[in-house]
Amino acid sequence: MNRSLSLVGITAAVLVLVACAGRTPDGTNTHSSAASSPAPVTETLPEVSLPVAEGADVDGVVAVEGHDLAVHCKGSGHPTLVILHGWIDQPGITSYGYYGALTNELEPDFRVCSYDRANVGDSEAVPGTQTPEMVVGDLDGLMETIGDPGPFILIGQSAGGMVASAYAVAHPGKVVGIVMVDASFDEEITLEDVGMVPDGVGPCDPENRRRDGEESLQKIDNCAMYKWAYERRDLRPKVPLVYLAAEHAPWSDQTELGPAYAEAIIPLQQSYAASWSPGKFEWVDSGHDIHSENPGAVGDAVRWIVKEGNK
């Protein structure tokens, strides 16, 4: 659910349920400001020299499924952390640099990678609407190509949680933990399925779905992404998960989505987190951009996952 037209993009049920094209019901954008939105970047990246030596920095583009994807990796160690960016709906905006504070927090102890999904940032465009299989395949093919087959700890920020949900059920053996950073997750679709959001604001609303898949910059079928991951929820890996929620911007404040949504969303986030092995839900002293406002909280979540995984 889109919280803005910028990289902070789809954050939770809140805004993909609103329109997935980056609009709130009154037509305005939410959570977008000069302070939180990265400036457009026009730098042309070089091709990554393959194979990549273990622990070597990566800063360039890699051909995956016939199109170039921009990828950046720093640090060393296992498992690799993969940052999955939010919703980008402005040309020239990249994930590189936007997660600089978080990368700096994690790099001393881990290998950290981030990338731009197809159609945005420094990555190439692809024709048509992106399906769940395409989005998941790009991530998996990218990491395989740079010589890192996993396992991974996925860090899904905002709309990146939607990608984490899908990848985890597609490749459960490659995921050893997940950190959801005020992020979308597949079970949100159940609120729309049972009529707990007003007509015209959910990702499966016909007009919203058309805009997402045909008019947005990312051209992702968000309705399909949520349903695809949720329908495969029995394949979720039995791994630790931490859900970090923004205390200063809780989703239950999104009253334009109706009282039923406001009442249901926080308990749904909490029960979702508790269903993992183990899982926990934590409020963070931050706005939506936890990764930049309080990167230490994300770092602590990652370290908790590693500790739990080593038990």
Q: How far is it, in rounded angstroms, from Cα 23 to Cα 139?
A: 27
Please give the radius of gyration of the chain, using alpha carbons only, rounded to the nearest integer: 18
DSSP notation for the chain: -BS-SSTT-B-HHHHHTTTSSS--TTS--SS--TTTSPPP--PPPPBPPSSPPTT--EEEEEEETTEEEEEEEE---SSEEEEE-----STT--STTTTHHHHHHHTTTS-EEEEPPTTSTTSPP-SSPBPHHHHHHHHHHHHHHTT----EEEEEETTHHHHHHHHHHH-GGGEEEEEEES---GGGHHHHHTT-S-TT-STTSHHHHHIIIIISSS-B-HHHHHHHHHHTGGG--S--EEEEEETTS-GGG-GGG-HHHHHHHHHHHHHHHHTSTTEEEEEESS-S-HHHH-HHHHHHHHHHHHHHHT-
| pLDDT at residue number 303 | 97
What pLDDT is attached to residue 17?
42
Residue 232 confidence (pLDDT): 97
Residue 23's pLDDT is what?
24
Predicted local distance difference test score (pLDDT) of residue 15: 41
Could you tell me whether strands 112-115 and 67-74 are parallel, antiparallel, or unpaired per DSSP bridges?
antiparallel
pLDDT value at residue 43 = 62
pTM of the full structure = 0.88
Instruction: Please give the pLDDT value at position 219.
Output: 96
- Mean pLDDT, consecutive 10-residue stretches, the chain (311 aa), reads 34 36 26 34 79 93 95 94 94 85 94 96 94 97 95 97 98 98 95 79 89 95 96 97 96 82 93 97 97 97 94 80
Spatial separation of the C-alpha atoms in residues 237 and 229, rounded to whole Å: 12
